[in-house]
Copies of this chain bind each other. A is one copy, B any other.
């Protein structure tokens, strides 16, 4: 319980991916440095997808290069396939995040592969990484692990089967994601517990959206189950196209507050996170920000602790 918690800010990828505008590279670099300055030591900086699909992430290699100059920072990049993995290896990113959808229907719609084809691709990416002599970590993020807007219910047994399969295929780490904001804390508790039994300490990330208000309750439930690393976005950006107007990823500053209030170290500077949130609001003027703690600020009791 006393173990510190690591937050990975995923705004520069998961957040910006869902926003049509392209943020200039210079602003992204400032954003990246501000995240690092606020204490973030894991940041997802972009995605190696074709620029025609996501032009707003076309500068990912530049972001990785900048991230490598920041002390102690682990830069993650999203990688959808073998070609993207090669680009990630070329960039020198410290971690590749490979999406795998536990929902068969979502996998076909989003990745144009069945989940088992995605598992096979993990194996090929592992072979590529090893052949290159790279130490880039391979993390598989299970999207729709708690339900799917297309398919509805996702069988936990299928999530567990696929977890075992990607670990066999060579993933270094796995994480569970509630991409669409369907999870409840009891479900989170149960699926993480069962997943730990399959993956042990290679289960190392919880990714939650606050679409229906349960984001922080789900973070808490995953923490209770043993997870000590979470994705979040400064300003709570990264909304779901299926729920326009609803909240996006859990806000970095909210998750930081949750753990600070419980006395769990995150290494994050709350004032710097609040300043970054305001800055993100300016860079993304017109886009809705989300999250809660910014309205009321820290409680008096926490100020006394700090």
Q: Which residues of A contact B (CB under 8 A)?
A: 147-149, 152-153, 180-182, 184-187, 210-214, 216-217, 219-221, 240, 243, 245-247, 254, 257-258, 261-263, 291-293, 295-297, 299-301, 304
Contact sample, A vs B, 7 pairs, CB 8 Å cutoff: A152-B300, A187-B262, A212-B293, A213-B254, A214-B261, A245-B295, A246-B292
- The answer on a CB contact under 8 Å between B187 and A261 is yes
State in angstroms the CA–CA spacing of A263 and B185 once bound together.
11
* A301 and B153 contact, Cβ closer than 8 Å, known pairs A212-B292, A293-B213, A295-B246: yes
CB distance from A201 to the nearest CB of B (A): 22
* A147 and B211 contact, Cβ closer than 8 Å, known pairs A258-B217, A261-B187: no
Contacts of A262 in B (CB 8 A): 184-187
- The answer on a CB contact under 8 Å between A299 and B246 is no
CB distance from A256 to the nearest CB of B (A): 11
Contacts of A211 in B (CB 8 A): 295-296
* A181 and B220 contact, Cβ closer than 8 Å, known pairs A263-B186, A292-B212: no
State in angstroms the CA–CA spacing of A85 and B260 once bound together.
41
- The answer on a CB contact under 8 Å between B147 and A213 is no
State in angstroms the CA–CA spacing of A242 and B260 once bound together.
21
Contacts of A291 in B (CB 8 A): 213
Residue of B nearest to A211 (CB): B296
Closest 10 CB pairs of A and B: A213-B292, A184-B261, A243-B296, A246-B296, A217-B217, A186-B262, A182-B299, A246-B295, A147-B301, A217-B220
* A296 and B147 contact, Cβ closer than 8 Å, known pairs A186-B262, A187-B262, A262-B186: no
* A212 and B257 contact, Cβ closer than 8 Å, known pairs A220-B217, A243-B296, A247-B295: yes
Residue of B nearest to A251 (CB): B213
CB distance from A213 to the nearest CB of B (A): 3
* A147 and B243 contact, Cβ closer than 8 Å, known pairs A184-B258, A213-B292, A262-B187: no
